[in-house]
């Protein structure tokens, strides 16, 4: 009997385990819970691969050493608290609707979503200061939302220099470790010269852990016992189930210079998937996307019968409407030369 070799799926599982083994020690330097470390490692590996930051084993190894490690920033509990405070101050002045829809988000969700954006800005500020000796400040005064569209860097200075307005308008967008797209409202492209994408290693339980560590959960449970809603056993169980928060790893994918793009669609790749539920998925692209623009792009218009097929931006948009500026994470410039180019223009 001829022994069959490993299947494609088995080989993929072996390679994923190898990558987790490389990634995990870096995350475990500041995160003690091994389950969280593994979860975040898997999310970042898959998100970055799907964003075409690497494509195979050799390119993963190069990505890890040349892109991920040099562009990794850690946020402390105080950094996260600073992000939450900025978000709490400004979130009530922002729209509670999701871009491209009329769905209203709960204000608590607006708060934490906005905080993630500020966390990305803080990470960029720490990176530029610690690695390149450049300080930046954000503008957190309340005002018209349109005033916040152009730039997330309100002032800049070299070490020991004077604060001044930046020469380039820069927008910082944050996503989670498994994200593969910079996703911004279409109007953003008319206001900003460049974009930075920050991937945050933050779990579903992180905000709850922050509240636990700050004593808010304990205070609520104390009130719950006074109301007869929570027993001593319940309190102990809940406190043991809610994990502590941890320093947040932030991977700065790089930056994108809008002025070097050919718009509305700088580039896009799409393919047909499915057997019964046949549809077109866009897995890579940079530009201002609308349904009409996407369908007219050669990568889709050349597909036989494309006019009758649904078009998805995988995995963030199903049958999207409106206008979005999108860029897959693999499209961002990275490395010392790229960051120095950004600083020179700031």
Q: For residue range 172-198, what is the model confidence (pLDDT) as tens digits? A: 999 999 999 999 886 777 889 999 999
Per residue in 277-288, pLDDT (tens digit) is 888 889 899 999
Instruction: Assess whether 76 and 195 both reside in one domain.
Output: yes
Instruction: Assess whether 210 and 200 both reside in one domain.
Output: no
Instruction: Assess whether 200 and 337 both reside in one domain.
Output: yes
Residue 163 domain-assigned? yes
pTM, to two decimals: 0.91
Q: Comparing 254 with 279, which gets the higher pLDDT?
A: 254
Instruction: Assess whether 85 and 186 both reside in one domain.
Output: yes
Residue 1 domain-assigned? no
Whole-number Å distance between alpha carbons of 134 and 157: 6
In the beta sheet, which residues pair with residue 328? 181
Number of domains observed in the structure of the chain: 4
Q: Give the model's pLDDT for residue 100.
A: 47
Whole-number Å distance between alpha carbons of 189 and 198: 18
Residue 41 domain-assigned? yes
For tokens 């790089």, name the residue.
254
Instruction: Assess whether 272 and 235 both reside in one domain.
Output: no
Residue 2 domain-assigned? no
Q: Comparing 323 with 128, which gets the higher pLDDT?
A: 128
CA angle 189, 195, 201 (to 5 degrees): 130
Instruction: Assess whether 279 and 226 both reside in one domain.
Output: no
Instruction: Assess whether 76 and 194 both reside in one domain.
Output: yes
Which segments within 243-278 are labelled E, that is strand? Answer: 248-257, 265-273
pLDDT band at 145 (very low <50, low <70, confident <90, very high): low
Residue 161 domain-assigned? yes
Residue 3 domain-assigned? no
By residue range, what is the domain housing residue 137? 71-205+245-258+333-345
Instruction: Assess whether 249 and 135 both reside in one domain.
Output: yes
Q: Which of 65, 91, 112 is the last residue of a domain?
A: 65
Count the neighbouring beta carbons within 10 Å of the beta carbon of residue 343.
Answer: 16
Instruction: Assess whether 136 and 250 both reside in one domain.
Output: yes
Instruction: Assess whether 212 and 152 both reside in one domain.
Output: no
Residue 172 domain-assigned? yes
Instruction: Assess whether 108 and 154 both reside in one domain.
Output: yes
Instruction: Assess whether 251 and 112 both reside in one domain.
Output: yes
């Amino acid at each position: 009997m001829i022994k069959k070799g490993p299947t494609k799926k088995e080989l993929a599982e072996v390679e994923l385990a190898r990558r987790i083994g490389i990634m995990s020690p870096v995350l475990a330097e500041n995160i003690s819970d091994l389950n969280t470390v593994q979860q975040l490692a898997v999310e970042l590996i898959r998100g970055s691969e799907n964003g075409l930051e690497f494509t195979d084993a050799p390119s993963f190894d190069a990505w890890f050493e040349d892109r991920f490690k040099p562009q990794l920033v850690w946020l402390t509990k105080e950094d996260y608290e600073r992000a939450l405070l900025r978000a709490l101050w400004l979130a009530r002045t922002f729209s509670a609707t999701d871009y491209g829809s009329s769905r209203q988000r709960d204000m608590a969700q607006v708060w934490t979503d906005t905080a993630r954006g500020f966390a990305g800005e803080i990470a960029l500020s720490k990176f530029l200061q610690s690695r390149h000796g450049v300080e930046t400040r954000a503008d957190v005064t309340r005002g018209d939302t349109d005033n916040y569209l152009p730039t997330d860097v309100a002032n800049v200075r070299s070490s020991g220099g004077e604060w001044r307005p930046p020469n380039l308008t820069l927008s910082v967008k944050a996503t989670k470790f498994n994200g593969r797209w910079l996703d911004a409202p279409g109007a953003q492209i008319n206001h900003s010269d460049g974009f930075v994408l920050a991937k945050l290693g933050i779990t579903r339980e992180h905000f709850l852990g922050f509240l636990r560590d700050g004593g808010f959960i304990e205070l609520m449970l104390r009130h719950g016992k006074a109301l007869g809603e929570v027993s001593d056993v319940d309190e102990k169980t809940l406190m043991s189930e809610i994990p502590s928060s941890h320093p947040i790893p932030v991977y700065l994918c790089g930056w994108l210079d809008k002025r070097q793009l050919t718009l509305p669609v700088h580039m896009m790749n799409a393919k047909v998937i499915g057997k019964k539920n046949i549809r077109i998925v866009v897995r890579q692209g940079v530009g201002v996307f609308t349904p009409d623009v996407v369908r007219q792009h050669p990568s889709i218009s050349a597909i036989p019968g494309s006019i009758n097929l649904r078009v998805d931006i995988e995995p963030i948009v199903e049958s999207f409407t409106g206008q979005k500026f999108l860029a897959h994470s693999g499209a961002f410039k990275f490395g010392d030369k790229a960051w120095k180019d950004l600083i020179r223009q700031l």
